[in-house]
């Protein structure tokens, strides 16, 4: 079985400051890793994912995440946040060895960007 821990339920930050949202996971098998974002009153949408290869993955809007296998982490970072980044961010994993897809989500981190 898999589990995902997002220790920070809320992260307040000022506009243009850097931010890191932490994600740790536990799994007995190899996993794919995802970050999803939920803007107010919307469903979730994919921000970025790690499947294989380079451990650093980037999104089109300036976020990046690094897969660290030894620390079983997949932290999300952005060097300079905007007001529009205010949203809830969910880390998720999916086991590689199953014949179907099943995502396990963390409890989410609410990013609050203020001017």
Q: Which residues bind other proteins (CB under 8 A)?
A: 6, 9, 32, 36, 41-46, 49, 51, 90, 94-96, 98-108
Q: Which residue, 54 or 101, has its beta carbon nearer to other proteins?
A: 101
Q: Which residue, 85 or 89, has its beta carbon nearer to other proteins?
A: 89
Q: How far is the CB of 100 from other proteins (least distance, A)?
A: 5
Q: Strands (DSSP E) along the chain, which ranges?
A: 2-5, 10-14, 19-21, 24-27, 31-38, 44-50, 56-58, 64-68, 73-78, 87-95, 104-105, 109-114
Q: How far is the CB of 17 from other proteins (least distance, A)?
A: 25
Cα–Cα dist 23/74, whole Å = 5
Bridging pattern class, strands 109-114 and 10-14:
parallel
Q: How far is the CB of 3 from other proteins (least distance, A)?
A: 11
Q: Which residue, 49 or 75, has its beta carbon nearer to other proteins?
A: 49
């Amino acid at each position: 079985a898999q589990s995902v821990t997002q220790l920070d339920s809320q992260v307040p930050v000022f506009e243009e400051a850097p931010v890191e949202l932490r994600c740790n996971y536990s799994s007995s098998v190899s996993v794919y890793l995802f970050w999803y974002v939920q803007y107010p009153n919307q469903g979730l949408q994919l921000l970025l994912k790690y499947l294989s290869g380079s451990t650093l993955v980037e999104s089109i809007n300036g976020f990046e995440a690094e897969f660290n296998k030894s620390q079983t982490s997949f932290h999300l970072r952005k060097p300079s946040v905007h007001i529009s980044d205010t949203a809830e961010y969910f880390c998720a994993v999916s086991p590689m060895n199953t014949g179907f897809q099943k995502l396990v989500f963390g409890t989410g981190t609410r990013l609050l960007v203020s001017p």
